[in-house]
Every structure is written in C-alpha cells, then in structure tokens.
Amino acid sequence: MLINCVLYENGQRLADIPQQDISEHVGRAECFIWVGLLDPSPEELDEMAVEFGLHPLAVEDARKGHQRPKIEEYDDSLFAVLHTIDASEDGSVELEIGEVDMFVGRNYVLSVRHRTRRGFSEVRQRCEREPELLRHGAGFVFYALMDAIVDRYFPVLQDLESALEAAEQQLFGSSSSSSKIEDLYALKGRLMTLKHAVLPLLDDVGKLQGGRVPPVCVGTQEYFRDVYDHLLRINATIESIREMLATAISVNIALIGISDAEITKRLAAWGALITVPTLIAGVYGMNFEHMPELRWSGGYPLALAVMFVVDGVLFWRFRRAQWI
C-alpha cells in the first residue's frame, strides 16, 4: 500500500500529492518526489513504474522481493536492494529479515518495503529538519535511507556480541556440551545472516563515493563514504566474532573429548576393581577334584581378604591418579 507521496522543492516540503499526479511533477527540474510503499501488489508497483518510467528489470526484481543486497545502475537512475534485520518482536533469538528496494532518479525516490515492520518516518523527519541537505535532492534521501538501514545493524551486532560473551562464560560449566554447540551454531547462523546483508554492499557503496560516481549521487559522496565506513566496521566485527565462535566450538569439542576420556578412565578403574575378585573367585570355582587348599578351613576367609586387599590397593592408586 501507499505510505507517503510527498513533493519537495529546494529542500522544503511542498505537499502530499495523489499518486496519479506524480507524472505531472516528476519532470520538473527544481522538484523531487519521495514515495514510500509497503508490501505493494503487482498492480500498484506497475502503476508506479509507469508514473516514474522505471526500468522493467528493476521492477521485476522489486516485484519478487527476494533479492540479494545490491546497487545497480540503469542509465541515469539507480536500483538498490538492502536487507533489514531486526530482533524478533516476540523476544525469541530468531532475526526478522526484511527487504527494502529503492528506485532513485534525478528527481524521485521510491522505496518499497517487504516484510518489514519498522518504517522510515524518522528518516523523513530528519531530512525535513535539514533543508540545506535536502536541497541535494534524491541523492541525499538515498543516503539517508541507506544510512538508517545500516545503523539498524549495530544493535543486532551488539546482541550477537552479548550472546557470544554469555556462551563463553558458560563454556566450562556443567551443562551438556552438545547443547552448547547447538547454541553456538545457532549464533553463527544469525551472524552469517547479518554478514550476507553487509558484505555485498561493500563494493557497491564504495563505487558511490569514489571513482565514477553515478549522476544521482554527485555532490553527496562524503555521505556515502560515512555509510561505507560503517559497513567496514560492521564487517570487521562480524569477522572477529566469527573467529571467536570457531574457537569456542573447537574448545567445546575438545571438552567433550576430555569428558569422554574421563568417563573411560573411571569405567576402566571400576572394571579393574571388579576383575580381581572375579578372577580369584573364578579360580576357586573350578570343579577339579585335586586342587590345593580346597579342604583348608582358612581358604575362604583368606580368599576374601586377598580380594579386599588387592581392591583396596587398586582403589588407593586410582584415587591418587584421579581416575575415581
């Protein structure tokens, strides 16, 4: 559905205009139009494509709503896909992943939101509070939207760092190591979700602030440089957390091996304690007629005493070796 359709001139908001009037104003050099859509139907998107003269390939990507992050140039316009990542509203550890498709031309910005509950009203308010920057036109709005999306990655990244710290503190606890590995792999999955949203943008945003800059972004390169710096910081932190996760998983697997070895030693020790009495009892349980000590009155207590003494010595040695 249509969220906003606003006409701006010289950095000032002029008016909200109906969708059917877009074509009347989009050709005016001194104006630009900022439109926001939320989960539009194919018909609504087709109407916008006609009003703004959007490239059909970009419209097809926006209609699908399941694209990898990218920024593509079509003649004198840009088409950008960014993923929004937010913590789950119900408090679970799963992340909510949405998509924002942006069409940016010389005098228009069209943002299309898919599966996102957070809008960009604060971005619009920020831009309208800074008319001297809004005079840059569509390029500055494009930057402001992109900056808002990238800044929303930082709280998610902080939550992942906190989750890793909590997992490291419990690493040497008494709970099941297998469940810890499951938690670490779940954390790694959320981290990779964030990485897949950030990494493809690095090269594309880098092209907006250096080299041959698209006409839409001319005059706003320093702002895109700030976004690029944020992406670099996020990507570096992701790589650091990823290495720490790999180390934590390796340590956990090693702890499982150590725990299994401890169990094996204890079983071996108790097995030795049981084997000695079994051996002695087995010898005297053989039914041969001519066996020494069979008719000796002290044989039974002596056999029991030998069992207890040998087991006592073995128990003492195993306890000193911390096998028991």
- What pLDDT digit, counting tens, does each position of 114-132 carry? 988 888 889 999 998 988 8
The mean pLDDT of 76-83, rounded to a whole number, is: 92
Tokens of 75: 């003649």
What are the strands, taking DSSP E only, across the chain? 2-9, 12-16, 31-38, 70-74, 77-87, 95-105, 108-114
pLDDT higher than threshold 80 for residue 283: no
**25-29, 147-151, 270-274, range with greatest mean pLDDT:** 147-151
Q: What pLDDT, on a 0 to 100 scale, did the predictor assign at position 321?
A: 74
- What pLDDT digit, counting tens, does each position of 138-190 carry? 999 999 999 999 999 999 999 999 888 888 887 776 655 677 888 888 889 99
Domain chopping of the chain, boundaries: 1-130, 265-320
Answer whether 1-130 and 265-320 agree in fold.
Answer: no
The mean pLDDT of 51-73, rounded to a whole number, is: 89
> For the range 146-151, what are the long-range contacts, defined as Cβ-Cβ under 8 Å and sequence gap of 24 or more?
146/80, 146/82, 146/102, 146/205, 146/224, 146/227, 147/223, 147/226, 147/227, 147/230, 148/120, 148/122, 148/123, 149/82, 149/83, 149/84, 149/100, 150/201, 150/227, 150/230, 150/231, 150/234, 151/230
| Fold assignment, 1-130 | Beta Polymerase; domain 2 (3.30.460)
| DSSP type of residue 94 | P
Q: What pLDDT, on a 0 to 100 scale, did the predictor assign at position 278?
A: 82
Contact status, residue 145 vs residue 112, Cβ threshold 8 Å:
no
Tokens of 271: 């097995």
pTM of the full structure? 0.79
CATH number of 265-320: 1.20.58.340
Tokens of 224: 């895109």
